[in-house]
Amino acid sequence: MVVGLLQMALVVALIAGGTGAQILRAKQIMREWLKETGKQPIQSEVRFFDTGPFILTFLRGQYVFRIAIVDADGVRRDGWLRVGNFFGVFFSDKAEVVWDA
């Protein structure tokens, strides 16, 4: 019984650690995208269920952020940023944004 509980705790810890590492990588990709595009972040939030125009991306290891930025002209824009590709965030630096209308 104790061995089974220890094994279950180990599995949960590995899953939590892996997910945490993926989120850290997703945030790194977002920061790199912001820097490359010259945008200043106001707010960002990882979204798991309400992913806007990016449907079912969590099933493919991608992460979606709800973002608010200020562009180079000083204009605020809100939108959705998806990072990673079909194979997840560790195998791609891809970032794709869809701005609110």
Distance CA 7, CA 15 (A): 12
Tell me 60's DSSP state.
G
Question: Is the pLDDT score of 44 beyond 80?
Answer: yes
Which of these, 66, 52, 53, 57, lies nearest to 86 by C-alpha position? 57
* CA atoms in the 13 A half-sphere facing the CB of 83: 26
Domains in the chain, number: 1
Look up residue 82 and give its amino acid. Answer: R
* CA atoms in the 13 A half-sphere facing the CB of 89: 24
State pTM to two decimals. Answer: 0.77
Instruction: Give the confidence band of 73 by pLDDT, cuts at 50, 70, 90.
Output: very high
Strand order in the sheet with 95-99: 40-47, 63-70, 76-83, 95-99
What is the per-residue pLDDT for 15? Answer: 59
Instruction: Give the confidence band of 86 by pLDDT, cuts at 50, 70, 90.
Output: confident
What is the per-residue pLDDT for 41? Answer: 95
Q: What is the chain's mean pLDDT, rounded?
A: 85
Instruction: Give the confidence band of 56 by pLDDT, cuts at 50, 70, 90.
Output: confident
Range of the domain at 43: 2-99
By the 8 A CB rule, do 97 and 36 touch? no
